């Protein structure tokens, strides 16, 4: 059984594997792969619900998907994302919403942001809920950041990322996701904190990696530079559905094997 202590102990010894899952079948596949962490990411907004950002994702959406993932992966270490506006309004609301994600089946929660969320993180941790931080490109702030921009390119951005990473560690985070961060800065952050960094588009020197399930299996329409497709499931599924249609039209399906007598 994976615990936050085991995840922290893996830093510098063994790469940590995290992958997203959103429902029963993807959770089952992710769990059977042996990945240490399953993230029910608010990327479900783009990947599953067809929105163009994560901003419309609600707590209700997250609770439904965390419950489905828990059913598909009964013994996995599951991190549930805190969606936009579930933790920004007040510390009390943040603790309450983090608790709801745990009640739905998550082992920990993830929230986006740096030093400005130190007190929120402290109070969630005080309530007994492990918190994973998320720095670099933070998708819920896409409007403020002006698009999917790689972070850490300027001295100011580098210093802010380092300061934020230290603040998250001090506030009690057990790990930090670094998204779209230049490799040298991701390495510097990884070397300067005692908790693991888990990168996505943050290069080779993080303590672990995270990818979106649909990018790994080739089910998403986009082919991202920082991700890797290990299969073309879109093509496999599309061919299967076309074949089914053709067989119904040509009366090849159902045949004698599919009937009840």
Asked if 181 is part of the footprint of ligand KIV (rule: CB under 6 A), the reply reads no
CB of 111 to ligand KIV, least distance (A): 10
Q: Which of 36, 112, 169, 179 is catalytic?
A: 179
Burial class (CB in 10 A: 0-12, 13-18, 19+), 231: exposed
| Minimum CB distance to ligand KIV smaller for 8 or for 224 | 224
Up-side HSE of residue 151: CA atoms within 13 Å toward CB? 29
- Select the residue interacting with ligand KIV from 26, 31, 43, 140 (CB under 6 A): 43
Which one of 34-42, 72-80, 94-102, 214-222 is the stretch in contact with ligand KIV (CB under 6 A)? Answer: 34-42
Footprint on residues 117-136 left by ligand KIV (CB under 6 A): none
Is residue 88 flagged as an active site residue? Answer: no
Asked if 81 is part of the footprint of ligand KIV (rule: CB under 6 A), the reply reads yes
CB atoms within 10 A of CB 220: 19
Say which residues have a Cβ less than 8 Å from residue 123's Cβ, sequence separation at least 6. Answer: 91, 94, 95
Nearest to 95 by CA among 121, 63, 77, 56: 121
Asked if 42 is part of the footprint of ligand KIV (rule: CB under 6 A), the reply reads yes
Angle between helix 59-72 and 91-104 (nearest 10): 30
- Select the residue interacting with ligand KIV from 7, 21, 37, 41 (CB under 6 A): 41
Asked if 215 is part of the footprint of ligand KIV (rule: CB under 6 A), the reply reads no
Instruction: Point out the residues that are catalytic.
Output: 179
| Residue numbers at the binding site for ligand KIV (CB under 6 A) | 20, 39, 41-43, 81, 177, 179, 200, 210, 212
């Amino acid at each position: 059984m994976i615990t936050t202590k085991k995840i922290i102990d893996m830093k510098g010894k063994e790469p940590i594997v995290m992958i997203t899952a959103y429902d029963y079948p993807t959770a089952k596949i992710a769990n059977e792969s042996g990945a240490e962490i399953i993230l029910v990411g608010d990327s479900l907004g783009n990947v599953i619900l067809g929105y163009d950002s994560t901003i419309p994702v609600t707590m209700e959406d997250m609770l439904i998907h965390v419950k489905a993932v828990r059913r598909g992966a009964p013994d996995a270490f599951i991190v549930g994302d805190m969606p936009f506006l579930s933790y920004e309004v007040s510390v009390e609301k943040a603790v309450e919403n983090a608790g709801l994600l745990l009640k739905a089946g998550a082992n920990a929660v993830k929230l986006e942001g740096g030093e400005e969320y130190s007190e929120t993180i402290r109070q969630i941790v005080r309530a007994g809920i492990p918190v994973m931080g998320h720095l670099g490109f933070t998708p819920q702030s896409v409007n403020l950041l002006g698009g999917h921009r790689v972070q850490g390119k300027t001295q100011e951005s580098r210093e802010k990322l380092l300061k934020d990473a230290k603040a998250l560690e001090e506030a009690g985070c057990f790990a930090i996701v670094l998204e779209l961060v230049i490799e040298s800065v991701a390495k510097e952050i990884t070397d300067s904190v005692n908790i693991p960094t888990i990168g996505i588009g943050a290069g080779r020197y993080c303590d672990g990696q995270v990818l979106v399930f649909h990018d790994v299996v080739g089910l998403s329409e986009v082919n991202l530079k920082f991700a890797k497709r290990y299969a073309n499931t879109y093509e496999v599924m599309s061919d299967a559905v076309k074949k089914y249609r053709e067989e119904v039209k040509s009366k090849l399906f159902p045949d004698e094997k599919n009937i009840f007598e």
